[in-house]
Structures are given as structure tokens and as C-alpha cells.
Structure 1
Amino acid sequence: MELFGLALALGTIGLVAGLVGAVIAAYATRSETSTLTSYVQHFAAGLIIAAATLDLIPEAIELGGGLSLIIGFVVGTAFMLMIRALLIRFGHSHSPGRGHDHSSHDHSGHSHAPVHDAAHAGADASINFRLVTALAIVVLIDGAIIGVAVSAGGAGALLIAVALSIELLFVAASTAGSTRAGGGSIGRSIGVSAFVAIMMPIGAVLGALVFAGVSAPMLVMGLGFGAAALLFTAVAELLVEAYEIKESTGTIAMAAAGFLLFLILMMLM
């Protein structure tokens, strides 16, 4: 129980950080939201790429790597592609260029869609379900990484939790900013981000439970799966949406800054 309590405590650091980031982004004025969202998404992508390439993959290689790492990475990529395909088929995104107007019109230009359907569609359009789901999965995996570190008894569990919590702060801010940019209310923006953020303590407890005492090949597979999920989300979701909103020298520099921050934290370990 002490092990799971520690995992929960470290995961809760991320939850608190995520809520802070969500509140800051949600209360940004509408004119600030698009620019802020792009900068934050680039920064979060830099952190996520660094977490995969500087932490998970090197640790997996150190534990043995080989076929187990390849299998885990391939399965992780396939899993994220499957999630993406399902969300494209059954969900939608509010990002520019992705939506379509399916309401019917007569020759005079009047819509026959019921008013309550239009209102419902407007509310749902503020949430990018594909991005939110992908980020929730990634944050759950982040939490599991904390749980693995706790189970292994390593001294770096706290620093890993702090680094991933910083990542979550920006991921939650990105989610809230994206929802606000799509026309969502402050409450909706914070609520969606809270859903993403709460995955970290849940993942931390599950990671400590599942990976306690597992064999090295299984642990390597789990790390490979996590690395693939992190890279997929950074490249296929965060950066794609960020470039649709705003692209500039400053946003690209933010991605580099996110990577550099995680690198510094890793060196401090």
C-alpha cells in the first residue's frame, strides 16, 4: 500500500500542475487564445519528444532493448493509429479545414436543421475529441512511467514526476486553449483539461500495480509502447494542430525550448 500511495502522490503533482495550466489558458482573452495555444502546443510537443527520446528509449535499451523494444514500439504505434482511425470515423475536430457543414438547405438558403441540433453541434465543436483522447492516453502512459519508476525503487522517481508534471502543465494548457479557440466556455475548457490531467495519478497507480515485479523484457516492451505513443501524439496531433493555428519562428523555438527543458532536468538527475 505504501508503494501505491507514493505513486498516487507523485501522480497528483501532475494533476495539480495540469489544473494550473488549464486555468491560465482558459482565462486568456479570446484574442490571445490562438497565439497562446500554438506556442504552448509547440512547447508541450518538445517536452513529449524529449521524454520519449531522452528517457524511455535509452532506459529500454539499457534494460536490454532488442526485439522486445521493437515489438513494444510497433504495437504502440499501431495502437495510436487505431485510436486515430476510430476517432476520425466516429469523432470530429474543430480545427480549421477539418470540419464540414452537413446541414441541409432549401433553394432559398434556409437551413432545415433543428435549432437544438445546431446548438448541440456548436457545443461539441469546441472540443477536439481526437486530440483530447490522444492526450489522455499519453498522460495515462506518463503516469504509468511514474509508477514504473516507483516500482523499480529508483531515486529518480520524484524528478521524473516533476518533469512529466511540467509537461502536463503545458499539455493541459494546450487542451484548454484549443477548446477556447474552438468557442468553448471557460468551464468547458477547464473541465476537458481536468479530464486529461486526472489520467496521470490514475496511470501512476496502475503502473505501480502492473509493473511491480515484471520481467525485464515486459518492462522494455512497456517502455517502447510508451515512447511510440508519446512521439505519435507530439507529431501527429500537437504539432499538426499547432501549425494550423499559427506558425512562426517563435513557435518553433518553443518546441526547442521544451526539449531543452527536459534535457536539463534529465542532466540534473
Structure 2
Amino acid sequence: MNTSLSSVLMFAAFPAISVVLGALVTLVRTPSAKLRSAVQHLAAGVIFCVLATELLPDLVHRHMPWVTLMGFSIGVAVMLAVKWAGDQGEKGESARSSRGLLSAMGVDVALDGMLIGLSFAAGERQGLLLTIALVLELFFLGVSCATSLGSRGKTKWAIGLTCIGLAVALLAGAGAGAVLLSRVWPVYVDGLLAFGVAALLYLVTEELLVEAHEESETPIQTAMFFLGFIGLFTLDMLI
């Protein structure tokens, strides 16, 4: 990996700040369901663009099908396990408890951070584009965190400290991903990138778009997915 740990952490600081900013915005005024749906569609389109134009072509060019298959399969298994654990935790707790929610969000954010570190294995431009995509996704996660904790009766201070903790978890995940890639053989880089592709596909199809469709949507909200895709695609061609 050519990008230093300090550079990776510098990039990761932007989505980390985005988590806290999303919570602060919600504490001032909770975004409407339509606005949240629009942002989710936009974030999904941006992340899908990174997958389609950068990460997947890079995996094809590496031409390690069996390593890619193994890394992708492990990524799917891990994301499904995280979903199952989160669902079980929420079922076994009272309506006002937040441990299951925070555990699921903590794991999700740490994985997002690790994906930032892993993406730099494909190149600094790929890492930059994925960071831009995750800024939008993590802003919404901050909104969701503040909204959910507020409904459970948590104070503003508690919500703020929780989101700061999520930001720290993201930075730790990014640092871990960067250090991991600097110490493994090139063949493992392919497997780790395939793992990241699976995790991002899950994020788009099973989290962002599923939650975005919970509310009735307008054509404008749906169009935000395509706006996110073509917007980042155009930016990719310009830089």
C-alpha cells in the first residue's frame, strides 16, 4: 500500500466528523422522513458508483478468481452474522434499552472505517471516492443514532458522546485496515478487497435502500440514487 497510515486517518476523519454532524443536526431539528429517504438514495448511488467503476474493475484486473470468491463469501457471511446478532440483541431487550442498537452501530461503523483503509489498496483515488461516499452514509447514520437514542429518552449529552464514540470507532477501523494491508502479502489484498465489495453491496441493498423504501417515495427521491451515481462518476472522470 502506497498511502501512509496518517493519510488514511486524515481521509477517515471526514466521515468521522460526518457522524457527529448528523447527530448535531438532528438534535437541533430532526430531518423529515422524505429528506432522510432522499439522502439514503443519494448515498446508495454514490457507493454503487464506487463499486461499479473502481473496486469491481480492479478485482477483475487482478485476476484471482478463487481468492476473490473466498473473500467475497467471507464478507457476505460476516455481514449476515452482524445482521443476525443485531436482530437478536434487539429482540432480547426492552423497548427503552439501547445496548443492542449501539452494538450494531458500533460494529457497522468500525467495518466502514476498515473499508476506507482497505480501499486504499486499490489506489488513493479509489480510497478518496469511497471516503466521499461514506461521508453521506455516515451522516445519515448519525441522524439515525440521534433519533433512535432520543426516542429512548437519552439526553443530548449522552447522544453527543455516543456519536463521538462512533467516530472514534470509525477511525480505529480505518487505522486497523491500513495497518493490516501494509503487513500482508499481495494475494491477501485481493481477498480483502473482495470482502469490502461484499460489505458495500450489503450496505447498499440491505440497509440504505431498504430503509429508504420504508416511506412512500416520490420520483425525485428515486432520482437521487441516479444523481449520486452520475455525480460521482463525473467527478471520477475529472480528477
User: Which amino acid in the other structure matches residue 7 of structure 1?
Assistant: V
**Where do residues 248-263 of structure 1 align in structure 2 (5 Å cutoff)?**
248-263=218-233
User: Which amino acid in the other structure matches residue 221 of structure 1?
Assistant: G
Mean Cα displacement is larger for which, 224-233 or 16-25?
16-25
Deviation readout 1:100-138 (Å, 9 max, x if unpaired): 9x9xxxxxxxxxxxxxx7xxx33639x855863564144
1 or 2, which has the higher helix percentage? 2
CA 1:40 to 1:266, structure 2 compared with 1: closer, same or farther past 3 Å? same
CA 1:238 to 1:186, structure 2 compared with 1: closer, same or farther past 3 Å? farther
Q: CA contact under 8 A between 1:175 and 1:189: conserved in structure 2?
A: no
CA distance in structure 2 between the partners assigned to 1:4 and 1:228 by the alignment: 24
Give the structure 1 partner of residue 198 of structure 2: 228
Larger-gyration structure (1/2): 1
Give the structure 2 partner of residue 91 of structure 1: 90
Unpaired runs of 5+ in structure 2?
none
Unpaired runs of 5+ in structure 1?
93-99, 103-116
Give the structure 2 partner of residue 145 of structure 1: 118
The one of 135, 142, 146 aligned to 1:176: 142
User: Offset of 1:223 from its aligned partner?
Assistant: 0.6
CA 1:240 to 1:54, structure 2 compared with 1: closer, same or farther past 3 Å? same
User: Which amino acid in the other structure matches residue 242 of structure 1?
Assistant: A
**Where do residues 32-111 of structure 1 align in structure 2 (5 Å cutoff)?**
32-91=31-90
Q: CA contact under 8 A between 2:19 and 2:140: conserved in structure 1?
A: no
CA 1:65 to 1:53, structure 2 compared with 1: closer, same or farther past 3 Å? farther
The one of 233, 238, 244 aligned to 2:208: 238
Give the structure 1 partner of residue 28 of structure 2: 27
Q: CA contact under 8 A between 2:67 and 2:190: conserved in structure 1?
A: yes
TM-score (norm 1): 0.72
SS in structure 1 at match of 2:214: helix
The answer to whether residue 32 in structure 2 is matched with residue 11 in structure 1 is no
CA distance in structure 1 between the partners assigned to 2:40 and 2:26 by the alignment: 12
Report the identity percentage.
Answer: 24
The answer to whether residue 88 in structure 2 is matched with residue 136 in structure 1 is no
SS in structure 2 at match of 1:148: coil
SS in structure 2 at match of 1:122: coil
CA 1:198 to 1:255, structure 2 compared with 1: closer, same or farther past 3 Å? farther
The answer to whether residue 106 in structure 2 is matched with residue 122 in structure 1 is no
Mean Cα displacement is larger for which, 2-11 or 241-250?
2-11
Count the aligned residue pairs.
233
Q: CA contact under 8 A between 1:143 and 1:201: conserved in structure 2?
A: no
CA 1:249 to 1:47, structure 2 compared with 1: closer, same or farther past 3 Å? same
Q: CA contact under 8 A between 2:14 and 2:135: conserved in structure 1?
A: no
CA 1:229 to 1:130, structure 2 compared with 1: closer, same or farther past 3 Å? farther
